[in-house]
Amino acid sequence: MKKVKPALLKGFDQEFLPHEQLQFNALVELIRRNFERFGYLPIETPSAERIEVLTSKGGAEKEIYALSRLAAAEDDEAAAKGALRFDLTVPLARYVAMRERELAFPFRRYQIQRVWRGENPQVKRGRFREFYQCDIDVIGRETLSYLAEAEIPSVIYAVFKEMAIGAFRIRINNRKVLKGILRHFEVSEERSADVLRALDKIDKEDQGAVIAELERNGLAARAARELYAVIGTKRETNETLALLGDRGYAAEGLGELRQMVEAIRLFGVPDGAFAIDLSVVRGLDYYTGTIYETTLLDHPDIGSICSGGRYDDLASYFTNTKLPGVGISIGLSRLFARLKDANLLPKTVRTPAEVLVTTLDPDSLERYLRVAALLREQDINTEVYLERAKIGKQFEYANKKGFRVAITAGADEFSRGTVKVKDLAAQAESDVPLAELAARVKQLLDSKAH
Amino acid sequence: MKKVKPALLKGFDQEFLPHEQLQFNALVELIRRNFERFGYLPIETPSAERIEVLTSKGGAEKEIYALSRLAAAEDDEAAAKGALRFDLTVPLARYVAMRERELAFPFRRYQIQRVWRGENPQVKRGRFREFYQCDIDVIGRETLSYLAEAEIPSVIYAVFKEMAIGAFRIRINNRKVLKGILRHFEVSEERSADVLRALDKIDKEDQGAVIAELERNGLAARAARELYAVIGTKRETNETLALLGDRGYAAEGLGELRQMVEAIRLFGVPDGAFAIDLSVVRGLDYYTGTIYETTLLDHPDIGSICSGGRYDDLASYFTNTKLPGVGISIGLSRLFARLKDANLLPKTVRTPAEVLVTTLDPDSLERYLRVAALLREQDINTEVYLERAKIGKQFEYANKKGFRVAITAGADEFSRGTVKVKDLAAQAESDVPLAELAARVKQLLDSKAH
């Protein structure tokens, strides 16, 4: 028979071996646990939405994958009008507009799902066409306190502190401050977007290139250098606040920023873990207040691992109700790929059932199964080797799959009411009475470092 | 501004409110936990696969959704050659063929993901075009013991016992037995598929219709009635085995079936929870040995909630290695919808953070946040109400979102080192010193039935 090559589509190819999947799942659970700790509610939305919903805000058309029927006589609604979501924010806006009356506001939701974007995948750099996002948003009805913005860094802090992937900094800026600075430098409204785009490259390009781009956008040579120095110089948070005050930039935004810094401290985020950073620019139109990026101090090359900001109106394309909000997103597929490259992934078990009951004697099946049942009753996940095979092959399986404990027994052991318990890493084996088995296995599993 | 209607695509519309999502997630976790208890390893596969991979086996073309780019200048590979998976078995076959050398065999995997099928959605009956499947499979290399088949019912039993959705029965048949019976009734090879299709309707259509269809497929009137009586009569497992023996049907299959029944008992599945049922027919070509269906005894109308079987070769379209396997699938979206209709869903919390710290006095923010931090440190998920609002509005929010405990305090309480803890269901409130707060809240959360 002619074979089909078992291969994946480019960009749809972050697929894991089971032990990697367990590492990925552990990160998902860690993120979920921390989101839930702060009162965020889970939702999931369908993978495909109406195209008119996805494109309501505009700008994403080029990245969208639409659906069609491969071989059906007639298109159904999904094939005629549907496409895969490219982010979790547009579906959230549609969701809140649909269910406004049933939700309690401020609505805190988290969502951990895949999204699809027809971008050019650079697998080496951890970019995919199908990838996971982990989002939280807080949506107010009509109003939303700045405290919702101030709480966000404490959630980010909790997540990455528990993840233990090294020192990180939540970099915070404020769109109003940026606007005030541009006004001070007499950048016109029309040029603002281009100037911000130039400033957004400060971390990626060298000084000369950025200053040249600023000049091309109408700034005099001296103003361009000055603006670069204001935005591009790294300072302590208090220094930045003082500078903005001394120079008289951005009066309104500055007050907000001061208040925000104070509140973030109250929310328990230590000064080393966050900083005001004027070079955080982000999305050009969407955000209206605080904006966030998060970087690993020892791995700046990974880029921002968690970003977002405050916006004025989530769902203006769907409803007249004003829904101000604030949210952040962790691009988990990319983060996972980069952490793996940098050897920073937390260690996890290689199989969720770490105990294997080997089966030497086919006539003792009932007794092997009773051993497994006894362990499972004590919440110890346990697998039984069910093929007929020599013990060497069974241990080969145990090692390849990554079990930590193997149990062996034959007629001899069973007649004495014992089994052999083998610590596979230490290669140490001992006879254990059945009555003590669960306790002994638990002790082995708990005591060993992963 | 002209608004876009916030609506969902037909069949892509099983979307939950947060408290329903929590119920759904609880079922997913229950299923995952039980799969892991038996040593199944998690995998996820990309949503889109190469069309030639998805169609390798043939037969599913009409249900497949292909991808295209909505508005890109050029198609990428996914748009030109990709489509959404319609089940989790074809991706598993591709996965195992790709990663044969890296996997430990027998390979036990579980997979809980969405699939997409362009079927006619009957939302009332719980059919969707996008839905979750929860699959387990055990894949052997070259060989796979019948014990792998015998263990499957014990996994199904563990899942639905813990789900506590009422009495259920795992109905088991064997394709070889079915074939033997057809041979006995002199049904030709060519007619077999049609006759099995007729017999598959025994639970759904009345006797006359099924017998007429058997006659149309070449059985004499008397043989059709006899065949119907053999297959369609409900019997105890031992009775069925005796009948098959007495009549001399299906010698090879019968031996297997006897052995299977014995082993299933050894695996700890009580006789009330499983039965040999000759009317379980299932997929016509794919299965070669044991086949399974599972029904709720008080809700036969829901149909099979977990089905599957033994197959000879998983990935013959991708590799020359023979990969016999056995697997089952829970159609979770449909199950959830039907359990909800039947009011059988297990109760869960309405918010993962069941404690709300209300905020009466804006000047006490730091102290409110300290109370929340204190509770979170004791692993009690806690939300702080961050808007400025009268206490009545804050309690309205608490009730709508479903908190169980509210904490209130003003300058008075803080000066005494206490807070008020309110049990929202009982409407009972008491003053609690901060040092005792976590213990007291835990007690309230644990003691109350949901």
Rounded mean pLDDT, A214-233: 94
In the beta sheet, which residues pair with residue B108? Answer: B138
Q: Residue A104 is nearest to which of B14, B79, B400, comparing CB atoms?
A: B400
Angle formed at CA A24 by CA A18 and CA A26, multiple of 5 degrees? 105
Distance, in angstroms, between B131 CA and closest chain A CA?
9
> Of A293, A309, A329, which residue constitutes the final position of a domain?
A293
Rounded mean pLDDT, A34-51: 98
Mutate one of B37, B161, B333, B403 to test the A interface: name it (highest A CB count within 10 A). B37
Say if the Cβ atoms of B67 and A67 lie within 8 Å. yes
Rounded-to-integer distance, Cα B8 and Cα A48, Å: 9
Nearest residue on chain B to A91, alpha-carbon basis: B6
Residue A162 domain-assigned (yes or no): no
Residue A68 sits in the same domain as residue A191? no
Residue A193 sits in the same domain as residue A280? yes
Say if the Cβ atoms of B352 and A42 lie within 8 Å. yes
Residue A17 sits in the same domain as residue A112? yes
In a 3-state reduction of DSSP, which class is residue B131? strand
Q: Is the pLDDT of residue B436 over 70?
A: yes
Q: Residue B118 is nearest to which of A5, A72, A386, comparing CB atoms?
A: A72
Residue B124 domain-assigned (yes or no): yes
Residue A305 sits in the same domain as residue A360? no
- Give contacts of B70 with chain A, Cβ < 8 Å: 51, 55, 61-62, 64-66, 83
Higher pLDDT, B254 or A250: B254
Q: Is the pLDDT of residue A124 over 60?
A: no
Rounded mean pLDDT, B236-260: 88
Q: What is the pLDDT of residue A60?
A: 87
Residue A114 domain-assigned (yes or no): yes
Residue A273 domain-assigned (yes or no): yes
Residue A129 domain-assigned (yes or no): yes
CB B340 within 8 Å of CB B123: no
Q: What is the pLDDT of residue B407?
A: 98
Mutate one of A1, A2, A3, A4 to test the B interface: name it (highest B CB count within 10 A). A4
> Of B341, B366, B396, which residue constitutes the final position of a domain?
B341
Say if the Cβ atoms of A25 and B4 lie within 8 Å. no
Q: Write out the DSSP string of A180-228.
A: HHHHHTT--HHHHHHHHHHHTTTTTS-HHHHHHHHHHTT--HHHHHHHH
The encoded tokens of residue A244 equal 């903005």
One-letter amino acid of A37: R
The model's pLDDT over A380-404, given as tens digits with 9 standing for 90+, comes to: 999 999 999 999 999 999 999 999 9
Q: Is the pLDDT of residue A409 over 70?
A: yes
User: Mean pLDDT over all residues of chain B?
Assistant: 94
Higher pLDDT, B306 or B346: B306
Q: Residue B365 is nearest to which of A266, A316, A356, comparing CB atoms?
A: A266
The encoded tokens of residue A33 equal 């646990």
Q: Is the pLDDT of residue B98 over 90?
A: yes
Say if the Cβ atoms of B69 and A66 lie within 8 Å. yes
**Percentage above 70 pLDDT, chain A:** 97
Q: Residue B77 is nearest to which of A9, A24, A268, comparing CB atoms?
A: A9
Residue B2 domain-assigned (yes or no): no
Say if the Cβ atoms of B36 and A94 lie within 8 Å. no
Residue A2 domain-assigned (yes or no): no
Distance, in angstroms, between B279 CA and closest chain A CA?
29
- Give contacts of A36 with chain B, Cβ < 8 Å: 352-353, 381
The model's pLDDT over B269-323, given as tens digits with 9 standing for 90+, comes to: 999 999 999 999 886 578 999 999 999 999 988 889 999 999 999 999 999 999 9
Burial track B374-383 (b if 16+ CB lie within 10 A, e otherwise):
bbbeeebbbb
Residues in chain A: 450
Mutate one of B4, B267, B374 to test the A interface: name it (highest A CB count within 10 A). B4
- Give contacts of B91 with chain A, Cβ < 8 Å: none
In the beta sheet, which residues pair with residue A48? Answer: A84
The model's pLDDT over B10-69, given as tens digits with 9 standing for 90+, comes to: 999 999 999 999 999 999 999 999 999 999 999 999 999 999 999 998 888 899 999 999
Residue A324 domain-assigned (yes or no): yes
Distance, in angstroms, between A233 CA and closest chain B CA?
32
Rounded-to-integer distance, Cα A366 and Cα B271, Å: 16
Q: Is the pLDDT of residue A293 over 60?
A: yes
Q: What is the pLDDT of residue A123?
A: 53
Q: What is the pLDDT of residue B220?
A: 94
Nearest residue on chain A to B13, alpha-carbon basis: A46
Q: Is the pLDDT of residue A286 over 90?
A: no
Distance, in angstroms, between B162 CA and closest chain A CA?
13
- Give contacts of A94 with chain B, Cβ < 8 Å: 6
Q: Residue B381 is nearest to which of A39, A51, A71, comparing CB atoms?
A: A39
Say if the Cβ atoms of B84 and A67 lie within 8 Å. yes
Q: Is the pLDDT of residue A448 over 70?
A: no
In the beta sheet, which residues pair with residue B142? Answer: none
What is the interface pTM, i.e. ipTM, of the complex? Answer: 0.96
Distance, in angstroms, between A256 CA and closest chain B CA?
16
Q: Is the pLDDT of residue B231 over 70?
A: yes
Q: What is the pLDDT of residue A412?
A: 92
**Percentage above 70 pLDDT, chain B:** 97
Higher pLDDT, A193 or B350: B350
When mean pLDDT is compared across A297-301, A308-312, A356-360, B431-435, the lowest value belongs to: A297-301
Q: Is the pLDDT of residue B150 over 80?
A: yes
Give the 3-state secondary structure of A235-290: CCHHHHHHHHHHHCCCHHHHHHHHHHHHHHHHCCCCHHHEEECCCCCCCCCCEEEE
Q: pLDDT confidence of B121, banded at 50, 70, 90?
A: low
- Give contacts of A81 with chain B, Cβ < 8 Å: 9
- Give contacts of B424 with chain A, Cβ < 8 Å: none
Q: pLDDT confidence of A283, banded at 50, 70, 90?
A: low
Q: Is the pLDDT of residue A241 over 80?
A: yes
Say if the Cβ atoms of A143 and B3 lie within 8 Å. no
Q: pLDDT confidence of B102, banded at 50, 70, 90?
A: very high
Residue B316 sits in the same domain as residue B428? no
Q: Residue B68 is nearest to which of A68, A317, A356, comparing CB atoms?
A: A68
Residue A284 sits in the same domain as residue A175? yes
Distance, in angstroms, between B379 CA and closest chain A CA?
8
Q: Is the pLDDT of residue A204 over 90?
A: no
- Give contacts of B352 with chain A, Cβ < 8 Å: 36, 39-42
Q: What is the pLDDT of residue B424?
A: 96
> Of B312, B341, B370, which residue constitutes the final position of a domain?
B341
Burial track B236-250 (b if 16+ CB lie within 10 A, e otherwise):
ebeebbeebeeeebb
Rounded-to-integer distance, Cα B389 and Cα B36, Å: 46
Q: Residue A38 is nearest to which of B6, B11, B383, comparing CB atoms?
A: B383
In the beta sheet, which residues pair with residue A418? Answer: A433
Rounded mean pLDDT, A180-193: 90
Distance, in angstroms, between A299 CA and closest chain B CA?
28
Residue A288 sits in the same domain as residue A425? no
One-letter amino acid of B310: R
Residue A220 sits in the same domain as residue A308? no
- How are strands ordered across the β-sheet holding A107-116? A41-42, A107-116, A130-139, A325-331, A307-311, A287-296, A168-174, A274-276
**Percentage above 90 pLDDT, chain A:** 84
The encoded tokens of residue A25 equal 């799942």
- Give contacts of A358 with chain B, Cβ < 8 Å: none
Rounded mean pLDDT, B388-395: 97
Say if the Cβ atoms of B352 and A83 lie within 8 Å. no
End-to-end Cα distance, chain B:
45
Rounded mean pLDDT, A283-301: 88
Residue B333 sits in the same domain as residue B410? no
Give the number of beta-carbon pairs within 8 Å between A and B: 329
The model's pLDDT over A146-183, given as tens digits with 9 standing for 90+, comes to: 999 999 999 999 999 999 999 999 999 999 999 999 99
Q: What is the pLDDT of residue B108?
A: 98
Rounded-to-integer distance, Cα B89 and Cα B314, Å: 8
Q: pLDDT confidence of B124, banded at 50, 70, 90?
A: low
- Give contacts of A53 with chain B, Cβ < 8 Å: 4, 6-7
Residue A13 sits in the same domain as residue A102? yes
Nearest residue on chain B to A380, alpha-carbon basis: B37
Q: Is the pLDDT of residue B450 over 70?
A: no
Which range of residues forms the domain containing residue B363?
A: 355-447
Mutate one of B2, B9, B357, B400 to test the A interface: name it (highest A CB count within 10 A). B9
The number of folded domains in chain B is 2
When mean pLDDT is compared across A64-73, A246-255, B196-205, B435-444, the lowest value belongs to: A246-255
Q: Is the pLDDT of residue B449 over 60?
A: no
- Give contacts of A113 with chain B, Cβ < 8 Å: none
Phi, psi of A294 (to 5 degrees): -135, 130
Q: Which residues contact A179 (CB under 8 A, 6 or more apart)?
A: A192, A250, A253
Q: Residue A17 is nearest to which of B52, B63, B102, comparing CB atoms?
A: B102
Residue A21 sits in the same domain as residue A87? yes
Q: What is the pLDDT of residue A284?
A: 57
Q: pLDDT confidence of A253, banded at 50, 70, 90?
A: confident
Residue A259 sits in the same domain as residue A128? no
Say if the Cβ atoms of A118 and B36 lie within 8 Å. no
CB A290 within 8 Å of CB A326: yes
Q: What is the CATH number of the domain that holds A436?
A: 3.40.50.800
Rounded mean pLDDT, A359-386: 96
Q: What is the pLDDT of residue A203?
A: 84
Nearest residue on chain B to A84, alpha-carbon basis: B67
Say if the Cβ atoms of A56 and B381 lie within 8 Å. no
Q: Residue B39 is nearest to which of A83, A97, A351, comparing CB atoms?
A: A351
Q: What is the CATH number of the domain that holds B105?
A: 3.30.930.10
Say if the Cβ atoms of B79 and A114 lie within 8 Å. no
- What sections of B202-282 are H helices per DSSP? 207-216, 221-232, 237-247, 251-266
Q: What is the pLDDT of residue A74?
A: 77
Say if the Cβ atoms of B4 and A68 lie within 8 Å. no
